[in-house]
Structures are given as C-alpha cells and as structure tokens.
C-alpha cells in the first residue's frame, strides 16, 4: 500500500469504533468534535508532509523489512543518519503545527521493542521478535499511526506493582490462555491515542520476579473490545467550542491526552512481545526512555521556533523590536532552543548498533538532552511572556471584539503600531498564551517537565551512566595520586 494522504488518514480513523469519553459523556464522533479535531489535525500533518517532495528525505525512509517507502514514524533506525533525521523531522513537524504531533511515542516504542525482543528471544528461546517484526511490517505496509503506552497510574510509588493495595494500578496479565492472554489495568497520560490505529503497550518500570505478571508488552487495535479512553482536561479547552477562533490562539492544531483503560482485553499470541520475562522489563523501559528523551531535542525545538517567532512578532507589533533588552531576550531564547537541538543531534550522532541491528542513541547524552528540556522551555516561555506583555492574558474575548458597541473600543485602545491591525496583534498574543499557558502548554511547557519521565528520572540515569569512577581515575592520574 502507498503512503496515505492526510485525508485518507482522517477517514481511516473515522472508520474506527473507539470508546471515548469527555465531560461525563461518550463522544460519538471524536473525529469532528471541535475540542478533539485540532489534535487529529496535528497527526494529519505528519501524513501531509510525507507527500511533499521537499520533505521526502526527512519524512520517509526505505524499510529494510518491506523494501518500500514508509513514513519515518514507522521506521526502525538502521544508522546514526536515521537517528539524526528523526530529530530533524520532529523539529519540522513542531514548526508546522506548534503542537504535539503525537507519533513520536509509537516510533520510540517500535525501536525499543525491536531490540529488546531480539535479546529476550536469544535468552529464552521465545518468538517475540518474530511477532514484533510481523506487526511492524503490518504497520508499515498500511501506513498506520501507532501509539506507545508505557506510563501506569502507579498508585503508591513506594510499593512494587505486585505489592499495591489495588493490583490493577499497574497493567497486568490476569489470564493466560492457549491462544493468548487477557490483560487488565490502565495507561495514563496517553498522548494521541484517540488518533491512533494501534497501541504498543510496554512495562513502566524495571521489575523483579514477583512482578512477572506485570512484565508484559503487546500491540492491539485501539478499538479492541474492553479498551476505553477518558480525555484529559486542559486549560482553555472549551474555547474551541465558542464561535470564532481568535481566542484559541492556534485554531488548527493541538494535542490531547487520555486515561486509557484495558478492561480484560484479549491479546492473541502473535501480538505478544513480552509475557513474564521480568528481567527484560527494565531493558525495554530504559531504551524507550532514551529514545523518547532524544525526541524532545526535536519536537520541543520546533515548537520553540514558533514561540520565538511569535515573541519577535509581538515585539514588532508593540513597536519595540529595536530595544536592546528585547533583542537580547530573543537572542537568549534562540541560544536555549538551539542548545536543546544540539543535544538531540549529539546523542544521535553518538548512537551505536544493537545486537538486533537497529541503532540506539547514546543514552547518557539523551538523558542530558531531556534534563535540559525540563528547564530551557520554561525560560523560553518566560521570556516570550515578558516580551508580549500583559495583554496576552487580559485581552477581551472575541465576542467582545466582534460586538458592535464594544468592538470599536477594543480596536481603539488595544492598537499597537498604526500600520498593524488590532486583530492581528490580538492573534499573536493569543498564540503566545496558547503556547505558554493554554492547551498547547500541555505539549510544550508541562510536557517538557514530565514527558519521557520526570527530571529525577534523568538524573538517576545520568548518575548511572556518567562513569564517575573513570573521572576519579583521571583526576588521580593527573595529580599523581597513588593508593
């Protein structure tokens, strides 16, 4: 099958029978719901860009499994060049949507599961890698969007999965049958799952023997019986229900998350990638986390490009683009953003080949990348808010702006430069609000903190991989210390 167009992708999602709930009601038509449609549009952009000749090298790759051209979001990285192109593609998608485009999690799951299943099979004689390659080819040949589900609700963080008062707080196998398994539990904060055809489920932490029922990985269609999703609430989300688009800030694109519940879901044998081999749960988690922390050096940088541009336009419209402190703040925003990009490219360039044949990033540098992501976007957002001014959060509603009586007053008193319309000035202000405080802040500011693991998770990995013993030995050698 050829690569899908964006329109074909939308129609393929429309045909699915997902169980989606929001605001206490079942959403009968998620595709066209005004709150949910912008997130679908963000994924659609990954299909549209793949159709454009100028972006072909970034958005597509040749699959070594099918021999055909595939969307890079379904590709297995076979070189450091693939790893770098991934980051460049993610920056492009961020620039084109100014939102979370949602397919990174599935791409990172593909690559983590690929190498982990290979090594598990080598140790246990299992057939998980064969299962996974079959699923991978199916996803590539049908140009599917596949979500990755790792984060469990976790309950009491001081207790292991098997020791939780409620055993369902980590997703687990509740029944093993001759033809497959039955799983129960939930995955939280699932970005883009309502816009996906399939979902790859992975463990969320390293596990011991007592947790073997929780050491499970598999793939199923998102509309499989027993799966339902509860949409997460976002700041300013109901603005999308109002007439007009000025107050939304980014009227076309967005992203949504969901609590995804697996209520005794059956998984056939050929869709199972891990089933009780607990010693490989931690391997899969570490590799997925590494790939996903690399991802943030691309996607957040692309959205940052838009935010920096919006701040610069706001300065233009306010009439102060030449003020020295404004120019210095924009330079600082660019410096921070490009530093994040450097980290994404660096961990890709230093990638190495796994036993399975695909390439993994330098895990230490990937964790450094994500540690910076937990900080720099906050400063970029602060500087954007500083440059924009208070109007970005105090502007009247669009209904007031369109009102025959109130409109002329708003037009008069919120005018900036004489040659710039008040409406355009308000549009840029609302875009900055959207990126720093509104619905897009979930995919930029807050996700920069908690996506792909909290800051402490990266610090733990940096501690493990920083090779402090080697550094001590270097210092002792230079100082001629003998012990």
H or E, element range at 401: helix 398-402
CATH number of this structure's domain 284-468, picked from the four choices 1.25.40.10, 2.40.50.140, 1.20.140.10, 1.10.3720.10 = 1.20.140.10
d(CA 50, CA 57): 9
Number of residues that this document lists for the chain = 483
Mean pLDDT of the chain: 97
Burial 25-47 (b: 16+ CB within 10 A, else e): eebeebbebebbbbbbbbbbbbb
- Whole-number Å distance between alpha carbons of 402 and 46: 35
Torsion of CA 191, 182, 184, 212, to 10 degrees: -100
| Residues tagged in the binding site annotation for FAD | 191
> Taken in order 19, 183, 108, 191, is the CA torsion positive or negative?
positive
Contact 377, 471 (CB under 8 A): no
**Looking at the predicted structure, is the pLDDT value of residue 148 above 80?**
yes
pLDDT at 417: 97
Q: Which fold has domain 6-278?
A: Butyryl-CoA Dehydrogenase, subunit A; domain 2 (2.40.110)
Quick one: pLDDT at residue 1? 67
List the binding residues: 191
- Beta carbons of 439 and 254 less than 8 angstroms apart: yes
Residue 389 — pLDDT band, cuts 50, 70, 90? very high
8 A C-beta contact, residue 101 and residue 43: yes
Sequence-separated (6 or more) residues with CB below 8 Å from residue 389: 314, 318
- Please identify which residue in the block is written with the tokens 């969320």: 204
Has residue 440 got a pLDDT over 80?
Answer: no
> Which residue has better confidence, 13 or 439?
13
Q: Place 446 in a pLDDT band, splitting at 50, 70 and 90.
A: confident
Contact 171, 223 (CB under 8 A): no
Please write down the long-range contacts of 402-411, taking CB distance under 8 Å and 24 or more positions apart.
402/244
Tell me the C-alpha distance between 56 and 41, whole Å: 20
Q: Domain residue spans in the chain?
A: 6-278, 284-468
Q: Which residues are catalytic?
A: 100, 104, 191, 257, 292, 296, 299, 447
């Amino acid at each position: 099958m050829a690569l899908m167009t964006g329109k074909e992708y939308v129609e393929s999602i429309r045909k699915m029978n997902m169980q989606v709930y929001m605001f206490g009601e079942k959403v009968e038509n998620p595709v066209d719901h005004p709150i949910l449609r912008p997130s679908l549009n963000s994924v659609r952009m990954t299909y549209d860009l793949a159709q454009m000749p100028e972006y072909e090298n970034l958005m597509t790759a040749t699959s070594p499994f099918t021999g055909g051209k595939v969307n890079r979001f379904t590709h297995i990285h076979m070189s450091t060049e693939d790893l770098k192109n991934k980051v460049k593609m993610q920056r492009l998608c961020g620039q084109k949507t100014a939102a979370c485009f949602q397919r990174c999690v599935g791409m990172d799951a593909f690559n983590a599961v690929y190498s982990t299943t290979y090594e598990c099979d080598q140790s246990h004689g299992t057939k998980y890698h064969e299962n996974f390659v079959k699923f991978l080819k199916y996803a590539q040949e049908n140009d599917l969007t596949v979500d990755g589900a790792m984060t469990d609700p976790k309950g009491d963080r001081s207790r292991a999965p098997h020791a939780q008062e409620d055993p369902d707080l980590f997703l687990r196998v509740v029944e093993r049958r001759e033809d497959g398994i039955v799983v129960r539990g939930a995955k939280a904060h699932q970005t883009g799952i309502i816009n996906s055809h399939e979902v790859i489920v992975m463990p969320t932490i390293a596990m011991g023997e007592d947790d073997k029922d929780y050491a499970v990985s598999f793939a199923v269609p998102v509309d499989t019986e027993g799966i339902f999703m509860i949409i997460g609430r976002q700041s300013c989300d109901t603005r999308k229900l109002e007439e007009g688009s000025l107050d939304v800030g980014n009227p076309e694109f967005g992203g949504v998350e969901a609590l995804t519940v697996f209520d005794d879901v059956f998984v056939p044998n050929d869709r199972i990638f891990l089933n009780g081999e607990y010693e490989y749960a931690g391997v899969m988690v570490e590799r997925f986390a590494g790939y996903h922390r690399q991802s943030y050096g691309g996607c957040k940088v692309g959205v940052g490009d838009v935010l920096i541009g919006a701040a610069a336009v706001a300065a233009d419209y306010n009439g102060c683009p030449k003020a020295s402190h404004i120019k210095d703040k924009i330079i600082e925003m660019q410096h921070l953003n490009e530093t994040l990009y450097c980290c994404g490219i660096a961990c890709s360039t230093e990638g190495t080949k796994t036993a399975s044949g695909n390439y993994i990033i330098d895990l230490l540098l990937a964790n450094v990348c994500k540690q910076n992501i937990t900080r720099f976007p906050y400063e970029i957002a602060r500087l954007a808010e500083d440059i924009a001014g208070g109007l970005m959060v105090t502007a009247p509603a669009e209904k007031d702006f369109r009102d025959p009586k109130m409109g002329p007053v708003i037009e008069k008193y919120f005018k900036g430069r004489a040659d710039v319309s008040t409406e355009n000035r308000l549009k840029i202000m609302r875009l900055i609000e959207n990126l720093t405080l509104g619905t897009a802040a979930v995919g930029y500011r807050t996700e920069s903190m908690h996506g792909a693991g909290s800051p402490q998770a990266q610090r733990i990995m940096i501690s493990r991989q920083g090779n402090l013993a080697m550094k001590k030995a270097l210092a002792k050698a230079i100082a001629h210390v003998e012990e």
